[in-house]
Structure 1
Amino acid sequence: MTTTGDSDAAARTGPWWWERRRSAVLDVGLGLASAAECGAEGVKFAADAGIPVAVGVIFGVLAGSTLVLRRRWPIAVVLISVAITPARMGILMAIVGLYTLAASELPRRIIGALAGMSLAGTLIVTLVRANQDMADGDVTIGEGFIPFIAITTSLGVTAPPVLLGLYVGQRRRLMESLRERADSLERELQLLAERAEERAEWARGEERTRIARDMHDVVAHRVSLMVVHAAALQAVARKDPEKAVKNAALVGDMGRQALTELRQMLGVLRADEAPPKPAPAPMPVPVPLAAVGKAAAQAASRAGSAAEPEPVDGPCLAELEELVDQSRAAGMVVDLSVEGESRACAADVEETAYRVVQEALTNVHKHAAGAKTFVRLAYRPDEIAMQVENGPPPEAGPADARLPSGGNGLVGMKERVTALGGVFVSGPTDAGGFRVSAVLPAAAEE
């Protein structure tokens, strides 16, 4: 089936092979007009052929009514119009049939062959009829004008409908291709929108994971040390009041550091909002505030009260000694060794290395209180390696602080290290302890 009228994408609302009802009405109207024309011309054909007039009229009506099938079988309509050309009937049928054929999606060679057949048939019939009319005396023109008239008539009947049909068919195909391209672009835009939504959801999930990991790294260590000191305070409160006072001061200091770091993180999360009203800072304590940073600690030591501290950069490896001292103050035996020449690296590398050591020490406080711990840091040409290993906890260790564990510490450390292209390994040792190792690419700070 060839479609020459409406687009294939249009909804089918017409009967049988018509796409639309108005197309069926148009074809039926053209078929009736063609049948009337061929029926009228059948009278003269019957007289010339010597057959009854009724037979000629019926023949003309049947032949002309086949124009209704032009959308379904355009080749058949053109062949019938060529076949009845010698009977001097079917002019409307030939014109409309050639237009429909040229506008269809048939190969150009078929269209050209059928158009040539129609042109040749019209030319031959016109020449023969013109010569007969001159012989009968009905036409009084020179013989030299007969070929001109025949060629002009045949071209006038064949060329205009073929050219118009080719133009209309090409324009229709162009519109269909543009429509398909627009539909394709719309589908692509919809797909891109869905992918953008998926990426946004993925980004939100990654951001939630990052915030949870930072909250765990920032708070868990401080709170763990607070719980350890509180347990030690409970144990020595009556036996050694002086040590109890020292432990109480350390607990308060750790609490203030945890609050400070929480405020810094909340300040980053609310960076786009209006700044909150300044609140008085805690009173200075003898233990330095490592998490606030060196600048914030110096400012806090110079003034008794100040506005809420502004967010500062994350911790660095230069503060590792101070981190180890805090664990020592909580009663842990920690041996820190540094290999290689220390140097400044990228901020994210130093922060990740610091967080790995911090979380490993926190796990020792939670699960192996009193165990001797070794912290090793090695500066290599292209990487930084760190290892935290603790031995088995002593049988008669310190009082159980009952520290809760969510099981996310090791997962968070591995995520941080692998995000920077490093390697993270953790697991128990043969001696009954636990070892955490990480290697990070050392991108030098510019």
Structure 2
Amino acid sequence: MDAKGAPTAGEDFRLLWWTRRRSVALDAGLALLSAVECGSQGVGFAEQTGLPVALVVVPGVLAGLSLLVRRRWPLAVILISIAVLPANMGVMLALLGLYTLATTDAPRRVIAALASMEGLGTIIVTYLMLDTDPGIREQDFPAWFRPLVALLFGVASVVPPVLLGMYVRARRRLVETLRDRALGLERELGLLAERAEERAEWARDEERRRIAREMHDVVAHRVSLMVVHAAAVQAVAPKDPEKAARNASLIGDMGRQALTELRTMLGVLRSAPVAPDRPTESSRASSRLAEIASGQGREPSAEGEPAPDGEAPAAPGPNGDGPRLTGLRALVEESRAAGMRVELAVEGEQRGYPEQVESTAYRVVQEALTNVHKHAAGAAAWVRLAHREGEIAVQVRNAAPDGAARRREEAILPSGGNGLVGMRERVTALGGGFVSGPTDEGGFRVSAVIPDRSEGRPGG
């Protein structure tokens, strides 16, 4: 077969026990040579014994042709070679028969028994030939000469073919083992490739969900406040033009910040990769998006653009890494400026937390206040932040909203229903707990407990 497992030319050939044409040609040629050898040796034996030539040559030729069945019945070939051994015939027959038998899966004791019979018969016949040869008898050889020569002939006729056959059998087994292992590895690689495709598809889906969540967190809060301020401008413009102007200024500031953040994220998604040794604005923006996507960062306001009154740009960290808990007061003031009655209570002593922990807590409060603007207009809200041993607890609760205000705000602040899902994903990704639901008083509560995972701990 070829590398792809398809049958190659000649592999569909089959004749009796042969599977390749060259095997048929090889066995036919060897059988013909063996028949010629046995026939010529039979002529000499007939002359020595006075037997009719045809009576010796014909059986010898048939015995030599038995090599045609050596692949199918190697044991029969060896027995025939032992049978014609007294006539001093079948040397080639014995060699090839023993070799073929040794290459098969025949038990070693069977191979050893047949090889011993063949070797012993060769020793006896060789010794008798030397003992009856007049030329050798005339020579003054030591008594051990003829037995030694006979022994050497017997060993030479048995040991080499058996050893060669066992070597070929071991090599074939090794090749089969390597082939099976290669096929197994090929199947495993196929499975790994399928799993890699599944993991890549899962990663793409997860990245799409994360980008959608980040777009929601970064933009929705400011856009919601802009809508609230726009409604306030519309309401107070005829009565208090000065207050309407302040609200319009806030709308402009928030709009510029939202556009800056949105432009940064979209620019990163469209930018092409650059060489790592040539940092550009796009590469720095890509790094920022990676931080934003992991919940660790938030793009601050563009340089030179004013922030709303009293607002810090999401309280970036010491390296400008994004939202920190120190920015909660500015976030609350932002909602108060939009007309919400909101109170902030902080319990415990604040300490240094990993960026992901502070960013997640900040985003939970931000999204919860945004939901209050959307679904509970005019309702009071309470934000509670508790610094506990090994964790941070965040709770945002609002009272029951005014019915008329709620209907008016729901009409202009549509919701995609992804805010709570995004908060839950952020908190559970850090091993925390998240609970949300209506209160007995008709309001709504969002609670999150986030473990304090330092950078040096697993999962931090």
- Structure 1 equivalent of residue 346 of structure 2: 338
- Structure 1 equivalent of residue 6 of structure 2: none
Structure-2 change in CA distance of 1:137 and 1:395 (3 Å): closer
Structure-2 change in CA distance of 1:428 and 1:52 (3 Å): farther
Q: Distance in 2 between matches of 1:318 and 1:113?
A: 93
Secondary structure, in 3 states, of the residue corresponding to 1:404?
coil
Q: Distance in 1 between matches of 2:347 and 2:315?
A: 25
- Structure 2 equivalent of residue 6 of structure 1: none
**1:364 aligned residue (351, 372, 386):** 372
2:65 partner amino acid? S
Structure-2 change in CA distance of 1:342 and 1:234 (3 Å): same
Q: Distance in 1 between matches of 2:441 and 2:87?
A: 113
Structure-2 change in CA distance of 1:153 and 1:220 (3 Å): same
> CA contact under 8 A between 2:391 and 2:449: conserved in structure 1?
yes
Aligned length: 419
Secondary structure, in 3 states, of the residue corresponding to 2:281?
coil
Report the TM-score when normalising by structure 1: 0.83
> CA contact under 8 A between 1:390 and 1:435: conserved in structure 2?
yes
- Structure 1 equivalent of residue 91 of structure 2: 91
- Structure 2 equivalent of residue 275 of structure 1: 281
Q: Which moved more, 1:191-200 or 1:393-402?
A: 191-200
Alignment of 1:302-341 (within 5 A): 312-341=320-349
- Structure 2 equivalent of residue 287 of structure 1: 309
Q: Distance in 2 between matches of 1:439 and 1:359?
A: 16
Residue deviations 1:142-173 (CA, integer Å, cap 9, x gap): 55432122111111211222222233333343
- Structure 2 equivalent of residue 349 of structure 1: 357
Secondary structure, in 3 states, of the residue corresponding to 2:404?
coil
Secondary structure, in 3 states, of the residue corresponding to 2:401?
coil
Alignment of 1:117-136 (within 5 A): 117-131=117-131, 133-134=132-133
CA apart distance, 1:281: 5.2
RMSD (CA atoms): 3.1
**1:397 aligned residue (385, 400, 405):** 405
- Structure 2 equivalent of residue 233 of structure 1: 233
CA apart distance, 1:380: 0.5
> CA contact under 8 A between 1:216 and 1:409: conserved in structure 2?
yes
- Structure 1 equivalent of residue 287 of structure 2: none
Q: Distance in 1 between matches of 2:455 and 2:34?
A: 90
- Structure 2 equivalent of residue 157 of structure 1: 157
Structure-2 change in CA distance of 1:137 and 1:257 (3 Å): closer
Q: Distance in 2 between matches of 1:79 and 1:430?
A: 101
Residue deviations 1:207-239 (CA, integer Å, cap 9, x gap): 222222111110111111111222222233323
Q: Which moved more, 1:415-424 or 1:262-271?
A: 262-271
1:35 maps onto 2:28 in alignment:
no
1:385 maps onto 2:407 in alignment:
no
1:403 partner amino acid? L
> CA contact under 8 A between 1:261 and 1:292: conserved in structure 2?
no
Structure 2 alignment gaps of length 5 or more: 1-9, 275-279, 283-301
1:345 partner amino acid? Y
Secondary structure, in 3 states, of the residue corresponding to 2:445?
strand
Q: Distance in 2 between matches of 1:72 and 1:262?
A: 80
Secondary structure, in 3 states, of the residue corresponding to 2:76?
helix
Q: Which moved more, 1:377-386 or 1:311-320?
A: 311-320
Secondary structure, in 3 states, of the residue corresponding to 1:437?
strand
1:290 partner amino acid? A
Q: Distance in 2 between matches of 1:384 and 1:44?
A: 108
> CA contact under 8 A between 1:256 and 1:282: conserved in structure 2?
no
Q: Distance in 2 between matches of 1:119 and 1:404?
A: 100
1:369 partner amino acid? A
- Structure 2 equivalent of residue 3 of structure 1: none
CA apart distance, 1:336: 1.7
2:312 partner amino acid? A
Task: Give the percent of matched residue pairs that are identical in Structure 1 and Structure 2.
Answer: 61
